[in-house]
């Protein structure tokens, strides 16, 4: 009687290499990711390796191999049957970031196929699936066959990733969350890029947020993450570009699920807040350029209704009713300006936490969210306000949530009585563009 086949390597040896600032050999990278997925490498061993990576980093080719091993832990979507060129976008997350909602149908209306695998929100950042699930009937789960069919027939799919896509990442992500290794840039980059590369799109645009409401608080860290991900995508044969974008102030005028859907519909109707339109058009331009479409102004398809037509078909294809009324919170409370002057700062993190406490977000992945909860911003930096004027609307299903949301907003804004402060809110939304030739 024979026992189980012996493992070719051991986890302690791999940990020791990285602990001592070495480069993990390719074969040992392949093994440790596979063995962890199989349960041979224990959580405490992978925790030690993740901490060693956080402290000592990874070389570019080492990280590329690590990412390849993460992809190889599961299935890779086959989009060869899609008749249009495929192009995707990933955002590192922010407050009021509803850009995927108008962006996917916009790019589809102009000839691209957008295979968007999205997630749910956690903490102060909102999730695309939570927003879309506020639409009556809409479902996030789509089979692989329906995924390809919808890309061919509609041009855009926004849905949940299946369990078979990069399962090593799902295990490692949960482990990082409880071992203080979430901030490791190599692990962030490989987590994002393993799923995006496995998704099979030929072109990818990364929206890397920087600021108080973003995961990356400093431009230096955001730039490092962007360059790392561009390098990984390029090495994998995916045309990859990153935009660094500001997230010190929330995007648009809403933070909350149904509230952000309503605002996205304004953008698809040719209106909406200027910053949401600007970023949607900028990302659409990059996505289309990545598949060779450079002679079209995306803004035209927002104004003439083409993008809205695709939106309706995209929502209907996943069981949603694009004409149904969106959920509304049962209670609304007004947060008034305490003084007169120019609003010079509205902190994205404070607004995000307020929306979370109102019920729009979750503390744990299994928590429910309120479709109608959130914050409506009645003024943005650069606007003049009068004492007592409504500054924010707080929407919640339970009135006892308002007090904690107000506490989150304490210190989250500045009003200046300086008459020259009228331009205080003018900040470049797109900070920089990082492509393969500028990634190093």
Give the active site residue among 18, 89, 90, 120.
90
Give the active site residue among 47, 73, 190, 191.
191
Give the active site residue among 97, 169, 246, 347.
169
Q: Give CB contacts under 8 A, 24+ apart, made by 18-22.
A: 18/49, 18/52, 18/53, 18/56, 19/48, 19/52, 19/56, 21/56
Active site residue 90: yes
Active site residue 264: no
Q: Hunting for tokens 């959580």 — which residue is that?
A: 43
Contact 248, 427 (CB under 8 A): yes
Active site residue 328: no
**What is the gyration radius of the CA atoms in the chain, in angstroms?**
22
288 SS3 class: helix
For 142, counting Cβ atoms within 10 Å of its Cβ (0-12 exposed, 13-18 middle, 19+ buried), the class is buried
Beta bridge partners of 241: 205
CA 63 to chain centre: 22
Active site residue 195: yes
Give the active site residue among 98, 195, 357, 401.
195
Give the active site residue among 98, 170, 171, 176.
176
CA 200 to chain centre: 18
Question: How far, in Å, CA of 287 to CA of 272, rounded?
Answer: 21
Beta bridge partners of 376: 254, 393
- DSSP character for 357? I
Nearest CA among 126, 68, 407, 423 for reference residue 258: 126
- DSSP character for 336? E
Question: How far, in Å, CA of 353 to CA of 119, rounded?
Answer: 19
What angle, 0 to 180 degrees and rounded to 10, lies between the N-to-C axes of helices 306-317 and 257-268?
140
Question: How far, in Å, CA of 245 to CA of 241, rounded?
Answer: 13
By annotation, the residues acting in catalysis are 90, 169, 176, 191, 195
């Amino acid at each position: 009687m024979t026992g189980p086949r012996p493992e070719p390597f051991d986890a302690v040896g791999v940990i020791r290499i990285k602990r001592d600032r070495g480069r993990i050999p390719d074969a040992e990278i392949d093994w440790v990711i596979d063995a962890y997925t199989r349960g041979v490498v224990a959580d405490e061993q992978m925790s030690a390796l993740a901490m060693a990576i956080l402290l000592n980093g990874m070389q570019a080719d080492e990280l590329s191999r690590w990412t390849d091993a993460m992809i190889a832990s599961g299935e890779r979507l086959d989009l060869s049957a899609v008749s249009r060129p495929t192009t995707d976008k990933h955002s590192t997350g922010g407050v009021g970031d509803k850009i995927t909602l108008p962006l996917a149908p916009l790019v589809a209306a102009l000839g691209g196929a957008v295979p968007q695998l999205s997630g749910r929100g956690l903490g102060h950042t909102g999730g695309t699936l939570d927003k879309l699930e506020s639409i009556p009937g809409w479902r996030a789960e789509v089979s692989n066959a329906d995924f390809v069919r919808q890309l061919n027939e509609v041009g855009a799919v926004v849905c949940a990733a299946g369990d078979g896509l990069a399962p090593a990442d799902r295990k490692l992500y949960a482990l990082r969350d409880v071992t203080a290794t979430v901030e490791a840039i190599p692990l962030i980059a490989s987590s994002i890029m393993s799923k995006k590369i496995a998704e099979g799109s030929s072109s990818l645009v990364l929206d890397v947020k920087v600021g108080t409401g973003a995961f990356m608080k400093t431009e230096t860290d955001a730039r490092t993450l962007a360059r790392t991900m561009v390098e990984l995508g390029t090495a994998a044969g995916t045309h990859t570009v990153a935009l660094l974008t500001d997230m010190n102030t929330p995007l648009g005028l809403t933070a909350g699920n149904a509230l952000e859907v309503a605002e996205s519909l304004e953008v698809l109707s040719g209106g909406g807040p200027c910053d949401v339109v600007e970023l949607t058009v900028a990302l659409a331009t990059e996505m289309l350029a990545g598949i060779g479409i450079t002679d079209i102004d995306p803004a035209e398809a927002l104004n003439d209704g083409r993008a809205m037509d695709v939106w309706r078909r995209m929502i209907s294809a996943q069981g949603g009713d694009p004409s149904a009324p969106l959920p509304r919170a049962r209670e609304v409370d007004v947060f008034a300006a305490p003084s007169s002057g120019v609003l010079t700062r509205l902190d994205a993190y404070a607004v995000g936490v307020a929306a979370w406490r109102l019920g729009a977000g979750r503390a744990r992945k299994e928590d429910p969210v309120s479709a109608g909860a959130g914050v409506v911003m009645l003024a943005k930096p650069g606007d003049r306000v009068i004492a007592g004027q409504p500054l924010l609307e707080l929407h919640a299903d339970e009135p006892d949530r308002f007090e904690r949301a107000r506490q989150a907003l304490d210190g989250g804004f500045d009003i200046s009585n300086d008459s020259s402060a009228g331009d205080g809110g003018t900040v470049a939304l797109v900070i920089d563009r990082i492509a393969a030739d500028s990634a190093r």
